[in-house]
Amino acid sequence: MTRLVAVSNRVVRPRSDPRSAGGLAVGVLAALKEYGGMWFGWNGRTTHGDPGSPTLEQNGNITYATIDMNERAYEMYYNGFSNTSLWPVCHYLLEHFRFDRREWDEYRRVNAMFARKLLPLLQPDDVIWVHDFHLIPLASELRRAGITQPIGFFLHVPFPDIEMFRVLPVYKQLIRSLCAYDVVGFHTPSDLRSFKEAASSIGGIKHANRRYSSDEQLVHADVFPIGIDVEGCRSLAIESQESEDVQRMVEHLHGRELLIGVDRLDYSKGLPERFRSYERLMENYPANRGQVSYMQISPTTRSGVRAYTDIRNELEQLAGRINGQFADIDWVPIQYLNRAFDRATLMGFFQNATVGLVTPLRDGMNLVAKEFVAAQNPEDPGMLVLSELAGAAHELTDAVQINPYDIDSVADAIHKVLSMSQEERCERHASMLAILNHNNITAWRTRFMDALLAVAAGYQAAS
Ligand code: GDG
């Protein structure tokens, strides 16, 4: 029987903190729950020596196979090449970009190590689904080791335009590595277009329709927009209304309109720009002072990278400045919470919000945008203010879309939502909900798995 083997840099194990934030983990776990199978990757612990053999842990129909990572490898492969070279390039944020050839070498070494540790765990009928930019060379390494099972890859971040990608001195190697997969998936048509352009620009790769060929391998590249468990979000939102955290939050509002943002603390999420837009709302539309409260939830991630400590300091300063300028005896304009909440509480908060602020400078998809819409009461929904530079903007065209760099127009958009009629909010919400239901989490994994299984069937027919 076919077994799904998902591979990602980090595995969120069953007994780890359920509040761990991260879109990839949310998507992979949901995909695995239906099919069952194995989830292979790093357990989040570093060691000074060799990572040793994987630890296996069974939970329901999922086997969690996890490994430690060498401290130096973590520093160079994860903090270094993955988060300081690839991540900024994929998000068009070159001010955070740095390249160090030793980090690139370590990136390849860690991918080879992943392949070595995974190899003994694989069975002949497995289908392997690799996730995200940390593991682009994994298929080449597995193929080198003699693996013939179908291998798919999904990129959770944007695939940048070729002129941006060329900034990476190793961009050609990365494109060739992508062509070692059988199926390569992206969130949006523009990511696919950029990949196609990149693949045709480097030569030696032929393509016909959506199939690309490096020397010996054909890769099927396509768009598979990630979705969410729409019903699940809505049920959590309803159930959690009785919870202590949600009730305390509502009490604290004193009837004011809630603006909410939930983002990992990451410079790509456009948080300083969002804080400034809120400040501009207070300046340009003073009638909102004392009438709205903005709650920003941002759990810390990637604390080993300098840019991530910088952003934390910047936000604390900005929140302090805005609160200092506008706060009153009984009103604090921004509540900035640098911590995680459990998923049900988040959905409960969303349901009480009038405005959902999702304003990244660039984002592969952005699941928070979708979760916010799903958590609303369809009869009196809050409205999403959404960056047109997020992948989700391709689907959620009825959100109020903005350019996050344009502080004034974001302030205008928030004001517009605050005064939007219930009828308009309901109409926009219904149209977005229909799209969420069409492209839900089941559709995502089914479409991707179907593409990969079609490749597997092709193998069987050929053998
Ligand atoms: C990457 C891509 C793409 C956040 N804070 C808490 C919490 N979260 C959850 C959210 C959401 C997830 O984490 C974040 O997902 P996003 O999609 O918004 O962003 P990334 O983590 O950057 O994800 C992104 C995604 O992969 C999937 O392909 O959409 O573009 O960058 O589910 O709800 N969860 C809990 N507590 C928190 O405090 N429990």
When pLDDT is cut at 50, 70 and 90, the band that residue 458 belongs to is confident
Structure tokens at 171: 């961009």
When pLDDT is cut at 50, 70 and 90, the band that residue 208 belongs to is very low
pLDDT tens digits for range 253-274: 999 999 999 999 999 999 999 9
Which pLDDT does position 275 carry in this prediction?
98
- Give distance in angstroms: CA of 179 to centre of ligand 1: 27
Per DSSP, which regions of 332-423 are E strands? 334-337, 355-358, 383-387, 400-402
- Give distance in angstroms: CA of 209 to centre of ligand 1: 32
User: Comparing 58 with 459, which gets the higher pLDDT?
Assistant: 58
CA distance 2 to 38: 12
pTM recorded for the entire structure:
0.95
Residue nearest to atom 26 of ligand 1 (CA): 23
For residue 134, what is the enclosing H or E element?
none
Which pLDDT does position 205 carry in this prediction?
60
Q: Measured from the CA of 269, which atom of ligand 1 is nearest?
A: 22
Residue 29 has pLDDT above 60, yes or no: yes
Q: Long-range contacts: 104-108, Cβ < 8 Å, 24+?
A: 104/169, 104/170, 106/72, 106/73, 106/76, 106/77, 106/80, 106/81, 107/76, 107/77, 107/80, 107/81, 107/82, 107/134, 107/137, 108/137
Q: Measured from the CA of 158, which atom of ligand 1 is nearest?
A: 30
Question: Residues lining ligand 1, CB < 6 A?
Answer: 19, 21-24, 26-27, 156-157, 226, 262, 264, 297, 299, 340-343, 346, 363-368, 371
Mutate to test the pocket of ligand 1, among 260, 359, 367 (most ligand atoms within 8 A of CB): 367
- Give distance in angstroms: CA of 131 to centre of ligand 1: 15
Residue nearest to atom 32 of ligand 1 (CA): 23
Contact 104, 172 (CB under 8 A): no
pLDDT tens digits for range 304-356: 777 788 898 999 999 999 999 999 999 999 999 999 999 999 999 999 999 99
Which pLDDT does position 23 carry in this prediction?
66
b/e for 299-319, b at 16 or more Cβ within 10 A?
bbbbeebebbeebbeebeebb
When pLDDT is cut at 50, 70 and 90, the band that residue 210 belongs to is very low
Query: Which residue matches tokens 């009438």?
Result: 291
Calculate the CA 356 to chain-centre distance.
17
- Give distance in angstroms: CA of 353 to centre of ligand 1: 18
For residue 254, what is the enclosing H or E element?
none
pLDDT tens digits for range 352-406: 999 999 999 999 999 999 999 999 999 999 999 999 999 999 999 999 999 999 9
Residue 201 has pLDDT above 70, yes or no: yes
Tell me if residue 166 falls in helix, strand or coil.
coil
pLDDT tens digits for range 430-447: 999 999 999 999 899 999
- Give distance in angstroms: CA of 27 to centre of ligand 1: 9
Q: Measured from the CA of 226, which atom of ligand 1 is nearest?
A: 28
Residue nearest to atom 35 of ligand 1 (CA): 19
CA distance 372 to 335: 18
pLDDT tens digits for range 215-235: 555 678 999 999 999 999 999
Mutate to test the pocket of ligand 1, among 82, 92, 368, 371 (most ligand atoms within 8 A of CB): 368
Residue nearest to atom 23 of ligand 1 (CA): 23
Mean pLDDT of 86-105: 97
Backbone phi and psi for residue 354, each to the nearest 5 degrees, phi listed first: -85, -35
Structure tokens at 283: 């300046």
* Intra-chain end-to-end CA distance of the chain, in Å: 18
CA distance 188 to 107: 26
CA distance 448 to 439: 12
Residue nearest to atom 9 of ligand 1 (CA): 21
pLDDT tens digits for range 125-165: 999 999 999 999 999 999 999 998 999 999 999 999 999 99
pLDDT tens digits for range 64-86: 999 999 999 999 999 999 999 99
Residue nearest to atom 8 of ligand 1 (CA): 21
Residue 211 has pLDDT above 60, yes or no: no
pLDDT tens digits for range 276-292: 999 999 999 999 999 99
- Spatial strand order of the sheet with 55-59 comes to 55-59, 62-70, 37-47, 4-10, 127-131, 151-154, 183-186, 218-223, 211-213, 206-208
Which pLDDT does position 50 carry in this prediction?
86
- Give distance in angstroms: CA of 267 to centre of ligand 1: 14
Q: Write out the catalytic residue numbers.
A: 156, 363
Q: Measured from the CA of 27, which atom of ligand 1 is nearest?
A: 27
Which percentage of the chain shows pLDDT scores above 90? 81
Residue nearest to atom 37 of ligand 1 (CA): 340
SS3 sequence of 356-369: EEECCCCECCCHHH
Mean pLDDT of 295-309: 84
Contact 383, 400 (CB under 8 A): yes
Q: Measured from the CA of 369, which atom of ligand 1 is nearest?
A: 18
Residue 15 has pLDDT above 80, yes or no: no
Q: Measured from the CA of 297, which atom of ligand 1 is nearest?
A: 38
Contact 152, 452 (CB under 8 A): yes
- Give distance in angstroms: CA of 333 to centre of ligand 1: 25
User: Comparing 404 with 14, which gets the higher pLDDT?
Assistant: 404
Mutate to test the pocket of ligand 1, among 87, 90, 264, 384 (most ligand atoms within 8 A of CB): 264
Which pLDDT does position 17 carry in this prediction?
61
- Give distance in angstroms: CA of 48 to centre of ligand 1: 30
Residue 209 has pLDDT above 60, yes or no: no
Residue 463 has pLDDT above 70, yes or no: no
Q: Provide the phi-psi class of 420: left if phi over 0, else alpha when psi is between -120 and 50, else beta.
A: beta
Task: Give the pairing type, strands 211-213 and 218-223.
Answer: antiparallel
Q: Name which of 26-40, 115-129, 194-208, 378-392 the model is least confident about.
A: 194-208
- Give distance in angstroms: CA of 422 to centre of ligand 1: 29
CA distance 166 to 186: 19
Tell me if residue 333 falls in helix, strand or coil.
coil
Mutate to test the pocket of ligand 1, among 223, 366, 373, 436 (most ligand atoms within 8 A of CB): 366
Structure tokens at 85: 């070279």
Which pLDDT does position 19 carry in this prediction?
60
Which pLDDT does position 218 carry in this prediction?
64
pLDDT tens digits for range 400-431: 999 999 999 999 999 999 999 999 999 999 99
Q: Measured from the CA of 26, which atom of ligand 1 is nearest?
A: 32
